[in-house]
């Protein structure tokens, strides 16, 4: 049985003292948040919080600090806070980013200002919290689930490395909505399906085991689907997972052109 022995520091002082908290200089920064309370406000307004943070802190740490010690009413989504759940997408310094993958030192200098706004194109419910329903409606429209061949295959369905490579990028998506809410066409047009849903469509269209490719191509081969992409490249710049989204959308366009039966 391996068990870490409990060191009684009084009897056995540790040989090497644990490094004392490294003396990292704190940065002063003004965090300017676009706040909106639906019960009292008619319009969103900026509120600035003077904070201190280490350069290596993440923006989500700063927001947590504000929520826990300064302004408990501040509303924003976060869950895993490690860049996987995709909850804390927000507009930080004018760019869509995940607050948990953004270091303070990358967005502000000592004494500088960081602006935080809700992601655009979706209805703001409170502060940084937006209604994600239109985003997930588009996601549901492309049938984001694997459809197996009928009859159900008796054996495991193998996939070659080369075939897995085709959807390597699109399966990285965490549905944070950074791309869709940075898309100028999504902002102005209520019916565009958006880059995130197209990336998800790509993931299943280019899955060689999936049986519903033609149906999915039918969904994206519409005025509101893949043809509304104007290749603004905002989505590719915004993606916190580094997915080459515009390129994937173009691949879907080619597949509609050549792969329809």
> Which of 54, 185, 233, 237 touches other proteins by CB under 8 A?
185
Size of the site for other proteins (CB under 8 A): 22
> Which of 46, 68, 146, 227 touches other proteins by CB under 8 A?
227
Burial of 188-223, coded b for 16+ CB within 10 Å and e otherwise, reads: eeeebbbbbbbbbbbbbbbbeebebbeebbebbbee
Map residue 17 onto helix, strand or coil.
coil
Check residue 261 for interaction with other proteins (CB under 8 A).
no
SS (H, E, C) 93-144: CCEEEEHHHCEHHHHCCCCCEEEEECCCCCCEEECCEECCHHHHHHHHHCCC
User: Of 93-152, which residues contact other proteins (CB under 8 A)?
Assistant: 137, 140-141, 143
**Closest residue by Cα to residue 207 from 173, 160, 175, 242:** 160
Check residue 232 for interaction with other proteins (CB under 8 A).
no
How far is it, in rounded angstroms, from Cα 187 to Cα 232?
A: 13
User: Of 30-69, which residues contact other proteins (CB under 8 A)?
Assistant: none
Nearest distance from C-beta of residue 220 to other proteins, angstroms:
10
Nearest distance from C-beta of residue 179 to other proteins, angstroms:
17
Maximal CA-CA distance, the chain: 78
Check residue 188 for interaction with other proteins (CB under 8 A).
yes
> Which of 120, 224, 232, 233 touches other proteins by CB under 8 A?
224
Map residue 163 onto helix, strand or coil.
helix
User: Residue 1 contacts by C-beta under 8 Å, 6 or more apart in sequence?
Assistant: none
Pairing state of beta strands 27-35 and 113-117? Answer: parallel
CB closer to other proteins out of 48 and 215: 215
CB closer to other proteins out of 63 and 141: 141
Check residue 202 for interaction with other proteins (CB under 8 A).
no
CB closer to other proteins out of 112 and 259: 259
Fill in the per-residue mask, 203 to 222: x = in contact with other proteins (CB under 8 A), - = not in contact. ---------------xx-xx
How far is it, in rounded angstroms, from Cα 55 to Cα 25?
A: 8
Check residue 223 for interaction with other proteins (CB under 8 A).
yes
Nearest distance from C-beta of residue 188 to other proteins, angstroms:
5
> Which of 29, 228, 238, 251 touches other proteins by CB under 8 A?
228
CB closer to other proteins out of 76 and 135: 135
Nearest distance from C-beta of residue 121 to other proteins, angstroms:
13
> Which of 149, 230, 247, 259 touches other proteins by CB under 8 A?
230
**Closest residue by Cα to residue 241 from 56, 82, 59, 58:** 82
Tokens 């502000």 sit at which residue?
Answer: 108
Q: Which residues bind other proteins (CB under 8 A)?
A: 137, 140-141, 143, 185, 188-190, 218-219, 221-225, 227-228, 230, 253, 256-257, 260
């Amino acid at each position: 049985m391996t068990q870490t022995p409990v060191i009684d520091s009084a009897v056995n002082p540790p040989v090497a003292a644990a490094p004392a908290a490294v003396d990292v200089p704190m940065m002063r920064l003004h965090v300017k948040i676009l706040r909106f309370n639906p019960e009292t406000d008619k319009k969103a307004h900026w509120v600035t919080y003077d904070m201190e943070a280490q350069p290596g802190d993440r923006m989500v740490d700063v927001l947590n600090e504000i929520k826990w010690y300064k302004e408990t009413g501040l509303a924003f989504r976060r869950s895993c806070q490690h860049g996987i759940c995709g909850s804390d997408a927000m507009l930080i310094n004018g760019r869509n980013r995940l607050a948990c993958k953004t270091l303070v030192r990358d967005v502000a200098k000592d004494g500088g200002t960081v602006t935080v706004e809700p992601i655009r194109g979706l209805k703001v419910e409170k502060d940084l919290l937006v209604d994600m329903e239109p985003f997930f409606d588009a996601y549901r429209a492309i049938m984001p689930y694997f459809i197996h061949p009928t009859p159900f295959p008796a054996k495991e369905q193998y996939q070659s490395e080369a075939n897995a490579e085709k959807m390597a990028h699109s399966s990285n998506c965490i549905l944070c909505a950074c791309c869709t809410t940075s898309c100028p066409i999504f902002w102005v047009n209520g019916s565009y399906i958006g880059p995130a849903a197209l990336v998800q469509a790509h993931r299943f269209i280019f899955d060689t085991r999936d049986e519903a490719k033609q149906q999915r191509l039918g969904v994206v081969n519409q005025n509101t689907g893949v043809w509304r992409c104007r290749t603004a490249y905002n989505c590719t710049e915004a993606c916190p997972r580094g997915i080459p989204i515009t390129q994937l959308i173009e691949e879907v366009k080619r597949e509609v052109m050549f792969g329809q039966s």
